[in-house]
Amino acid sequence: MYFLGVDLAWGVRRPTGVAVLDEDGRLVHVTAAKTDDEIVAAMEPYVDDCLVAIDAPLIVTNPTGNRPAEAALNKDFARFDAGAHPSNTSKPEFSEQPRGARIAARLGLDTNPRSGRRRRAIEVYPHPATVALFRLGRTLKYKNKSGRDIDQLRAELIMLFGLLEGLASADPPLLLDNPSWHALRTAAEKAVRKSELRVVEDQVDAVLSAYIGLFATRAPDRTTTYGDFATGYIVTPTLPDDLRPTPRGRAGARIHDTATAV
């Protein structure tokens, strides 16, 4: 069985990350693609028996505001800066079939989170997953937003590399001793433009998404599904009961007890 992660861009101008783990959690493939055809082609060799974890809405039925899944997730994770943006059918990207659902349909993937079929897909969201997995007081700021310079983005992304590599001894493990992963790390360390970091970031998020799929399968008792198949859902590692957000302004204090991280 393979666990695929897809960090899906909203359109074909920006890259989509695609990553594949085997059933032992070992990274076997990671790449970037743009068009739907390219994304499907990258995934096809691995989907005979698979769980595909897609970082993008798969089911959107509400005409305005948040989906119920987003509202429920935000109650837990927004205080960690890991809340979900609202998805609704008034937005052009969701007015018809969402891109993630379209790609899942092309590959014959069942998107019901309770499905036991051999070819299936779920919606995931990396930010709350990092909070839960690594006991972060707030999310890592490796996404390009106003006020963040290249040095901050690079440092935060490299920190994420280290955290993911630390999952080699976790339950379940994530095994990243792969030339493609090492090349991504080198590219991040040497990046001098935000666009260079963006290509790396998409693929790292795809690896993280694939791990969320593996985690949800191997550790269902430590996994939460917000929402449902009818109105949309998000699958993520469960927020630890004792985790509290880091007060704003305390730089370097995001990670709370890494010794006990999953």
Q: What is the pLDDT of residues 229-255, one digit of tens each?
A: 999 999 999 999 999 999 976 544 455
Residue 256: the pLDDT is: 52
* pLDDT of the residue at 253: 45
Mean pLDDT of 118-128: 97
Its pTM surpasses 0.75: yes
User: Residue 147: what pLDDT?
Assistant: 85
Average pLDDT for 219-227: 98
Give the pLDDT confidence score for residue 166 in this predicted structure: 98
Q: What gap in Å lies between CA 227 and CA 233, rounded to an integer?
A: 4
Query: According to the model, what pLDDT value does residue 12 have?
Result: 74
- What is the DSSP annotation of 92-115? GGGSSS-HHHHHHHHTT-B--TT-
Dump pLDDT digits (tens) for 86-108. Answer: 999 999 999 999 999 999 999 99
Question: What integer pLDDT is reported at residue 261 of this predicted model?
Answer: 56
Question: Closest Cα partner for 5 from 33, 83, 14, 13?
Answer: 33
List, for residues 29-79, the tens digit of each pLDDT value: 999 999 999 999 999 999 999 999 999 999 999 999 999 999 999 999 999
Q: How far apart are CA 199 and CA 139, in angstroms?
A: 20
Q: What is the pLDDT of residue 259?
A: 38
pLDDT above 90 for 211:
yes
- In the 8-state DSSP scheme, what is residue 124? B
Closest CA to 232 of 36, 90, 93, 101: 101
Q: What is the pLDDT of residue 249?
A: 66
pLDDT number for residue 252: 46
User: 256 or 2, which is more confident?
Assistant: 2
**pLDDT tens digits along 13-40:** 889 999 999 999 999 999 999 999 999 9
Q: What is the pLDDT of residues 141-194, one digit of tens each?
A: 999 888 889 999 999 999 999 999 999 999 999 999 999 999 999 999 999 999
- For strands 50-54 and 2-7, give the pairing: parallel
